[in-house]
Amino acid sequence: MHFFSSFFKKTNKSISNMKKNDSSKIYSTEEIATHFNVSKKTVEEILLKLGWIKKDKLPTREGIKIGATLTENNTLLLNEGILSNETFITEINNKINILVYALSQKATKHNNSHKYAYIA
């Protein structure tokens, strides 16, 4: 318990320091998801894939370098640089393209299943 309480105190302190000392804005994964029109889960999956967070959402060293912070109430925050990070944007676009392709395949399959339904 002591480790976690000291970790969260440090985390909260670093968030307030980021807000005071850094002119960049801080965004939650939910706000980032809204910005890119994807789900919060998708954002967290990408951050995990890129090695910026662990499965428990704790930021890795690389995640800390891009401004990732986990708050006491388990909210993952990142600074505004994430919104223009080329690696992150590429992963978002890849994920969107995969989803669009999957949906188009499902729609094509659905449309084809009706082609021969009314042949006598």
Residue 118: inside a domain, yes or no?
no
Residue 95: inside a domain, yes or no?
yes
pLDDT digits (tens, 9 = 90+) for 94-120: 988 887 777 787 777 666 655 555 555
Global confidence as pTM: 0.68
Residue 117: inside a domain, yes or no?
no
pLDDT digits (tens, 9 = 90+) for 16-68: 444 434 557 999 999 999 999 999 999 999 999 999 999 999 999 999 999 99
Residue 31: exposed, middle, or buried by beta-carbon count in 10 A (0-12, 13-18, 19+)?
middle
Q: Which of 53, 3, 37 is nearest to 45 (CA)?
A: 53
Residues whose CB is less than 8 angstroms from the CB of residue 20 and which lie 6 or more positions away in sequence, other chains included: none
Range of 21's domain? 2-112
Residue 72: inside a domain, yes or no?
yes
Residue 120: inside a domain, yes or no?
no
Q: Tell me the CB-side half-sphere exposure of residue 53, using CA atoms within 13 A.
A: 22
| Domain tally, the chain | 1
